[in-house]
Structure 1
Amino acid sequence: MSATITPVAAPPEPAPAAPRRGMWLVRTLAAAVSGLLLYASFPPRPLWWLALPGFALLGWALHGRRPRAGFGLGLVAGLGFLLPLLSWTGEEVGPVPWIALTIAEAVFVGFVGMGVAGTSKLPAWPVWAAGLWIVGEGARARFPFEGFSWGKIAFGQADGVFLSLAALGGTPLVGFAVALCGFGLYEAVRQALAYRRTKRLPRAGAVAAALAVVVPLIASLATRPLLDDSAEDGTATAALIQGNVPRLGLDFNDQRRAVLDNHARRTEQLADEVAAGTKPGPDFVVWPENSSDLDPYRNADARAVIDRAVRKIGVPVAIGAVLTPEKGPLRNTLIQWDPRRGPVDTYDKRHIQPFGEYMPMRDVARVFSKDVDRVRRDFGPGEKVGVFDMAGTRVGLVTCYEAAFDDAVRDTVLHGGQVIAVPSNNATFGRSEMTYQQLAMSRVRAAEHGRAVLVPVTSGVSAVIRPDGTVVQQTGMFVPDALVAKVPLRSSLTPATRLGIGPEVFLGLLGAAGVVGAVVRRVRVRRGAQGA
């Protein structure tokens, strides 16, 4: 007698628990707060450490989410971060251009959020997530219209423990370390909470979380000796002139002669102070960008004013001027003016500002703001790297907006710059945070390349920065002033200067590897489900 065995169907797997009602709102709020914490970590606030809980909170919002949800959460975080950070862009032209720029930049953060969400289930996910953040920053720095580098996490770390990493791997390594440490903090908390529930601690996950937090901190301490501000090639005494402007806003250029007179007058006053023995005599002087918006090659009166001031101070002066050739684009130019020979060398700004110095897609831009027509004639970019030999000191030149671009600053050092000058004009942006954000950039560049950095600004804040990133002198805003300081001259190259784009490429590949790993994992899971 045989028994018939009837197969019994396996009980159906329980349906996944429905997400708690309102959890999507909590995660969205967390993403927004994470962006606000990133913003608050930037100058003028010395709260650089807020970036760490900012990334930790962003990690919580994104962890385990689907890529589509990750994009939305990343976009929200980007808006929370960049909307207040870039508010100065609407200082004189209203909110529409500011909001349009913010949304365009936040989209990049959205794509980063998509990638972080997709890789968050991989082992050691904070590494891949931090690499993806650098991919996002690199993309923003290049696209569109040659990119917009404002808001790199490294630029908020001038007072932080991670600054020394700039000398090793530039701004990408600083940003990677901050993001890795922040994401690692969240992962450490997640592991601790899991242990509290289950009394089991996965060793690999715990080790990865600990390393993500500890390694960036140890690396920052280990690279402290790279912040060397010794005078390898002796010293030079530099003077920075802040002449001030007659009024704030876009219309300050309407009194171009008054701006020129202010800078010439303050230079002549410095010459009197030197003669009286109250100020040391400079070896060279640097004026700000736009200190002469009257073309001295075409305007004899402007040339005479500059020549008189330079002759009185008696040393070479770098003049920020706008050149207006009869044909072709305008030029944002720095002119080396010799007290005996007059203009002897020039540098044309290479990274010019879209929608500020030239107007791409003018008809489309006019829909957002009628102020586009203030730019009646576009500026054109220069081609050569700017290094002036000023009384024996080789001064690398980076004009204002260019300080945000890694290649622009590095080029001046590779071409022999012993000190870097960043002549700037922030008068258009009033008393906003913009000038402090830009000053922080120059501090990071000083540490990155081991060079003293001179920042003369039309309306402030002008500053003298040591090669280790510390500010030794600075002015107030919207006051005429002159800074005179002895600065170390250096010719050695930091690892960051030598490596150039290398660290950014390597860290970006880490992020890309994480995405590939997430895709492979997802394919395997699907195949496994189909096989089952």
Structure 2
Amino acid sequence: MERLRALVRILPRVAVAVGAGALLGLAYQPHDHPWLAIAAVPLLLAMLNGVSMKGGFLVGAGFGITYYAVLVPWLTVIGGDAAIALAILEGLFYGVFGALASQTLKHKLWILWVPSLWVATEYATGSVPFGGFPWGRLAWAFADSPLGRLASLVGIAGLSFVIALLGVLVYAVLRRRSALSLRAVSLVAGIAIVGLSGLVTLSTEGNGKTVTAAMIQGNVPGKGLEFLGRARTVTKNHMNATLDLEKQVEAGSQVKPDLVIWPENSTDIDPYKDFETKQDIEAAVQAVKVPILVGAVTEGPGPNERQTTGIVWDPATGPGQRYAKRHPVPFGEYIPFRDQLLPYIKRLEMIGRQTIPGVGPGLMPIKGVMYGDLICFELAYDNVVSDVAKGGAQILIVQTNNATYGDTGQPEQQFAITRMRAIETGRTVLIASTSGISGVINPDGKVEHKSGQFVPDVYVAKVPVRDQKTLATTLGGWPQWILTGLGILGAVLALLARRKPRTEDPGNPPTTTPDRETVPV
């Protein structure tokens, strides 16, 4: 009976946490209200203050499940059950955060431990299972904010820490029982963080060399999943768009590019084995007389296997350098536990052959310039981006195919993530999509060109070649590892402190109120 009463007492907190999760989901594209992230964090912490670990888990899970339900409704294109399953899976990570944060809030260094624990949670969601799903990081919402510039210094994980810290500082200021000194320090620290971020300058100057590149968006014959059955049409669309570009170059209305970029899945038919597909690519390459980076699905390396690749197709030597996508999407490009699941979930048969991950970064030297190739979702993974940035990429390329999720908000979210990667690495990013969004993002994250969706688009840009590395690139994964370690350390210290009698709330006047769900916030 007592457990039932405790559950009834915690439900109002869970309800408020659900609202906080919805607010956080609205911080991202296509809604684009980043300040809601800083409001959602303190609201969640208020609901976690004074609850048990079990209560904290319920509060955190309610927050996280709602957060992902609002963030990724586009997954319903695959199926409502898939969207629900993902929201529950990712939400449970925030349940663990809630359980640990409910105790960490009692520790004297909670202002440091809690945002570090948030980074640890993002690290976990972006790592497991099946390589993780790093789509819900706080940093992704801040491409248009001065705070976003900090990514060039501390990386994406460091920026998420700063945003979570601002939320924690807001909570410290508004917390009813906070000491006046704590409120004053928190207010000054928050203002200082925001003010100093506005002083960060982002350079866009190159090494004196420039590249002229053409992004080809040939468009697809339909939305949703049906486009997958029209592979030849998609390839011919990109061939024809490239031939039209060359006509404009010959007429003098367009500048001749040094490189042409086709998107991921610009051919779903292996050009090494299919003569017609190879002819279409050759026709385009011979017309423009410059290399084309082709997005192709190739067969192998084993039977019933495939790879999603970027192939440099040279007008003189034909297909050459090749990069295979390192982070294929589980249940989108391959099926974990395939033999066990296929007999029960027939819809998975639509995925077809298993996509096998590639090995090594997408570093491609073309005509004296080092490009870093990233394919679609994998630009959200730190290790993939870090490998090409540290490996000497002077310009980044994103080959993507968002046709399945067109007009759902997913392309806008991916474009925002791409902008943050431009800021973090200090590199121009050239984006080619089958159906949108294609574009050009400058090294400071500003958008030079952004195409519409489900329309043909050809854009030629002259962009700087850059050698100077940002501090974030130099540091690599260290900020994330250190902050994750601090978060875990704080949680461990808080759990150890549970065994000791506690007479006062850190930063607040002494109180004898028992630490239960009934403690007023």
Contact 2:173 2:184 in 1 (8 A): no
Alignment of 1:81-480 (within 5 A): 81-91=67-77, 93-190=78-175, 193-194=176-177, 201-203=179-181, 205-210=182-187, 213-222=190-199, 224-225=200-201, 227-325=202-300, 327-328=302-303, 329-362=305-338, 365-366=341-342, 369-480=345-456
Rounded to whole Å, the distance in 1 between the matches of 2:453 and 2:341 is 31
Contact 1:285 1:318 in 2 (8 A): yes
1:435, CA displacement in angstroms?
0.4
1:212, CA displacement in angstroms?
5.1
Rounded to whole Å, the distance in 1 between the matches of 2:224 and 2:380 is 22
Contact 1:315 1:391 in 2 (8 A): no
1:472, CA displacement in angstroms?
0.7
Moved more, 376-385 or 460-469: 376-385
One-letter amino acid matched to 2:27: S
One-letter amino acid matched to 1:158: A
Contact 1:444 1:469 in 2 (8 A): yes
1:147, CA displacement in angstroms?
1.1
Task: Show CA shifts across 1:268-287 (max 9, x none).
Answer: 11111111222222111111
One-letter amino acid matched to 2:284: A
Contact 2:137 2:160 in 1 (8 A): yes
Rounded to whole Å, the distance in 2 between the matches of 1:21 and 1:104 is 22
Contact 2:216 2:242 in 1 (8 A): yes
1:363, CA displacement in angstroms?
5.3
- 1:524 is matched with 500
| Count of residue pairs the alignment pairs up | 500
SS in 2 for 1:115: helix
Contact 1:34 1:57 in 2 (8 A): yes
Structure 2 segments unaligned to the other structure (5+ residues):
505-511, 513-521
Rounded to whole Å, the distance in 2 between the matches of 1:527 and 1:460 is 58
- 1:488 is matched with 464
**Gap change, CA 1:523 and 1:356, over 3 Å in 2:** same
Rounded to whole Å, the distance in 2 between the matches of 1:20 and 1:103 is 23
1:346, CA displacement in angstroms?
0.7
Structure 1 segments unaligned to the other structure (5+ residues):
1-18, 196-200
1:370, CA displacement in angstroms?
2.7
One-letter amino acid matched to 2:194: L
- Report percent identity of matched pairs: 37
Contact 2:10 2:55 in 1 (8 A): no
SS in 1 for 2:212: strand
Rounded to whole Å, the distance in 1 between the matches of 2:414 and 2:55 is 34
Moved more, 366-375 or 49-58: 366-375
Rounded to whole Å, the distance in 1 between the matches of 2:261 and 2:459 is 10
Contact 1:167 1:450 in 2 (8 A): yes
Contact 1:131 1:510 in 2 (8 A): yes
SS in 2 for 1:523: coil
Task: Show CA shifts across 1:406-425 (max 9, x none).
Answer: 11011112222110001000
Rounded to whole Å, the distance in 2 between the matches of 1:463 and 1:368 is 41
Task: Show CA shifts across 1:344-371 (max 9, x none).
Answer: 2111111111111110023554588432
- 1:16 is matched with none
SS in 2 for 1:423: strand
One-letter amino acid matched to 1:217: V
1:327, CA displacement in angstroms?
3.4
Contact 2:406 2:453 in 1 (8 A): no
SS in 2 for 1:90: helix
Contact 2:427 2:466 in 1 (8 A): yes
For the aligned residue pairs, the C-alpha RMSD in angstroms reads 2.1
- 2:519 is matched with none
Contact 1:233 1:491 in 2 (8 A): no
1:443, CA displacement in angstroms?
0.4
